[in-house]
Each structure stands twice: as structure tokens, then as C-alpha cells.
Amino acid sequence: AAFPSHVKFNLPDDKPCRYLMLNGCECEPFLTCDHRVMLEYAGELLDGLAILQSFVEAEEIYIAIENNKPDAIETLRRAAATSPLPIQVVGLQTKYPQGAEKMMITAILGQEVPSGKLPIDLGVLVANVGTVVAISQYFRQSQPLIERVITVTGTAVGRPTNLLVPIGASMQEVVDYCGGITDDAARILLGGPMMGVVQKTLDIPVVKGTSGILVLTENEVRDLTTYHCIRCGRCLDACPLFLNPARLGLLAKRGQWEAMEELNVLDCFECAACSYVCPSAIPLVQSFRVAKGIIREKRARAKTAN
């Protein structure tokens, strides 16, 4: 999500950190950049955790990794065994969206983050793999965040791979380095197929929040016709937060933003599971994203007016 680390780690005095968690789940299909970082930067990862721990003074430290990455689990368990910190490397069930911090917290602690609250309200601080490595590189090598590992993949990419790329590099140059894209390339995504953003051009830079470039072929992309909701309930079963996407989608269509806020649309972290299972191809998550933006804008205006 590229949330500013200086804001997340600057904890209020009345909300101490009890649990420090490293999110190595990487549940988004196609993306493997965090996986490679855990394998190739294990030492810096543990060092970054130690630096962060000295700042937040957590009582327990967890490294969460999905079970489909046994090599990463083994690598970090070996590294953690040599660390003086009380680090537990936890293998979690491989399922989407396990990498969402609220899902990960529930899987590890058995506690749910209440609606409208943040993980720190439970004493939990969640850090990303790349962020923790960057912390180590900054403190030990005086190197600011000038590069990051990204995944360049998809059946329309000549040579899919993970690359260490300078921040600001042209995505077109990155893709060209990977053999370019095939003639049947039909869609470019920044990120994965579930939470990624469709991009019309590669003439844009790599930024701190760029996790991957995914290029799909015509056979993998379908422009579906949207139909009316048939009340099948699949979206309710798919939503990991037990929201009511069908109802929220109807309210979004009517522009009833206040009603959507009352139904906790701001809790949605846009995993797109509802859109994925919808047989009517209703763009649910897209409408929720718009609604959240409007609600937050209204809140900001009201705060400024007061």
C-alpha cells in the first residue's frame, strides 16, 4: 500500500507496540519479489528487524510466510536461530488474501482488528519485507531508498524475472531488459491481477510502491458485459471482512455514500475477491474505491470547515 513508514512507526504514547510482525505472505498471484528478497537478503532482513525492534520495543516478533514458500521459511528460521531476538517464523495457510495485515493478524493472534481501528489498537505493528531491508541498508550503509526489487512477469513478457531496479527507472526500459512484450499482449497491470492497476502505457517510472509489472495476453483477458445483480450471495461468501458487497454495490450505484459508510465500506482493503467471484461481472471493488475516496474527501472538507 506504500503507507509512509515514518507515520506508521511513530507510535502514540498511549498505544505501545506489543507485537512486531513482518509480512512475508505475498499472496498476490504472479508476484514473487518479496519471496526473492527473503531468500537473498535474510541477513539484512533480520538486521532491519533488530533496528526496528530497538525503536518500538515489541514483546514478541513474528515473521509470517505462506506455506507455499518453504525455502523462505527454512532460510529465515535458520537466520532467526542465530539472532538474540525472540523471533518466531510462522508458516500460514496459502490462501488469498492472507497477506492483508488484518487477515495476517487474525491468523497469528486469533484476534480481529475492530471496524474503524488500526492494528496498533491491538498493539500490533506490521512491516513489509522491502521496508525492513531498506531500514537496514539505510542504517548500516547510509543508503536511502533508491532501488527496489520488482517482479516483471506474465505470459506476454519475453523473460519473466525479478529485478533490482532504481527508483525512477522507466518501466518501458525494465520490460525491454526482460525481452520486451509479445505481439498478443493485451493488458498491462502495475501489481498483480487482483489488486493491480490497469496501465495504458509503460512510459512511467518505477516508484517506491511498485511491486511488479504484469503483462497478460488476449487469451487471458476478457472484457465482460456487466449484468444486474442476481442476489447469488457469492460476494458475501468471498469477502474476508464479512461485509455485504452486494448491498454496497447497489448503494454505490445510487450514490448513497453515507449509507455505504454506515455499512463500513472504509474497512474494505480492496482485495477484489467480490469482483472476482461475481457472475454478473459487476465492478464492485472499483465502485468501493471511488466511494471511499468521496467519503474521505467529505470528511476532510468537514474537518477543514470546523
pLDDT digits (tens, 9 = 90+) for 195-251: 999 999 999 999 999 999 999 999 898 878 999 999 999 999 999 999 999 999 999
What is the strand order of the sheet 161-166 is part of? 161-166, 147-153, 212-217, 185-190, 197-199
| C-alpha cell belonging to residue 171 | 518501466
pTM for this prediction:
0.93
Residue 247: exposure state from Cβ atoms within 10 A (0-12, 13-18, ≥19):
middle
Query: Roughly what angle, to the nearest 10 degrees, separates helices 129-141 and 42-56?
Result: 90
Strands (E) located in the chain? 19-23, 60-66, 87-92, 124-128, 147-153, 161-166, 185-190, 197-199, 212-217
Low-confidence ranges of the chain (pLDDT < 70): 1
Which CATH number is 147-220 given? Answer: 3.10.20.600
Left, alpha or beta for 252 (phi > 0: left; psi -120 to 50: alpha)? alpha
Pick the CATH number of 5-141 from 3.90.660.10, 3.40.50.720, 3.40.50.11540, 3.90.1150.10: 3.40.50.11540
Domain boundaries, given as residue ranges, for the chain: 5-141, 147-220, 234-305
Q: What is the CA angle 46-48-53, rounded to 5?
A: 95
Query: Roughly what angle, to the nearest 10 degrees, separates helices 284-305 and 245-254?
Result: 60
Look at residue 1 in the predicted model and tell me its pLDDT. 63
